[in-house]
Amino acid sequence: MSQFLAPRPVQRLAKFIAAGTAALCLTAALTATLQAQTIGVSIPAATHGWAGGLNFHAEQTKARLEAANPGLKVVLVTANSASEQANDLEDLVAIHRMDALVILPFESAPLTGPVANAKRRGVFVTVVDRGLSEPGIQDVYVAGNNAEMGRVSGEYIRQRLNDSGKIVVLRGMPTVIDEQRFDGFMSALEGGGVDVLDDQYANWNRDDGFTVMQDFLSRFPEIDAVWAQDDDIAIGVIQAVRQARRQDELFIVGGGGMKDIVKRVMDGDKLTPVDVLYPPSMISTAMELTALKFVSDTPIEGEYILGSPLITQDNAEEYYFPDSPF
């Protein structure tokens, strides 16, 4: 099991998780006396595309882990607000007596206290994507790499335009995540000839993406490329561009790995030639790692920052999940 000791980038993580799942199955078969353990998984409800994908992968992983390990119980709860999620944590501790918690906080600050309370009761804590407001509470942290997501997008656009051209940027919301992505993107363009005509927030929303892109199209007669930062935004951008009949003038780079966009990439759509991964399947990584804590001697404490590879027509099939809502 020594090959599992260190965190791995996402390019290798799929093999790592597959091997880890095999290890879970093997351990369950060989260890009939495994003491019953309960893992609580608390995530936001499927209120938008990415969260829908998160829920899909959480449910799939719960079924897989419980089938492979009869001594393991996974209790999955979803919340529509930070206060509802805090109440869920109380139930997971008091009613389900969880041994470990995997949580993607609805918001960082309101969940920090409830997670710290669970930790004080001896619960092993894995935090996903959105960090807590205080350091040192979690045992494991699993997240995407927002700065890399922006950098990979910028590098592709710069290379595709031969370091010369005019682009527009549709950002997410005024948050740390958005700043990390935007700063990474702009750093990739530094010193080159790509001109950013404007950047506006589109709130990670396809309707806002449509509206913002309509404005860009009306103001700028020449646009060579669009960075949409998020695939929900990209869907709105695609609609606006096609409505204006300017799809032959430019290309769009989104982000996230939405199945609709990945399918376009697979099919060789010239308007969306690539995508950049920010996987909702990171919840599976977190759940698999946490399970390893109980069914093997593998030390897993630490940070696991997943990479943001460029999804191209050559590799898109690896990232296509047709049954996922995202």
pLDDT for position 131: 84
- The pTM assigned to this predicted structure is 0.75
Tens of pLDDT, residue by residue over 227-243, are 999 999 999 999 999 99
pLDDT for position 35: 62
CA atoms of 270 and 278, how far apart (whole Å):
22
pLDDT for position 31: 41
Weakly modelled stretches of the chain, pLDDT under 50: 1-34
Tens of pLDDT, residue by residue over 124-152, are 999 998 888 898 999 999 999 999 999 99
pLDDT for position 321: 85
CA atoms of 182 and 174, how far apart (whole Å):
11
Give start-end residues of each CATH 3.40.50.2300 domain in the chain: 2-145+279-307, 146-276
Tens of pLDDT, residue by residue over 87-108, are 999 999 999 999 999 999 988 8
pLDDT for position 133: 86
* Angular region, 267: left φ>0, alpha ψ -120 to 50, beta rest: alpha
The single residue listed with the structure tokens 């005509």 is: 197
- The architecture that CATH gives domain 146-276 is 3-Layer(aba) Sandwich (3.40)
- The architecture that CATH gives domain 2-145+279-307 is 3-Layer(aba) Sandwich (3.40)
**Which residues sit opposite 235 in a β-bridge?**
none
Number of residues that this document lists for the chain: 326
pLDDT for position 176: 74
The sign one gets for the Cα dihedral 172, 173, 175, 179 is positive
Helix then strand then coil, in percent of the chain rounded to 5, is 45, 20, 35
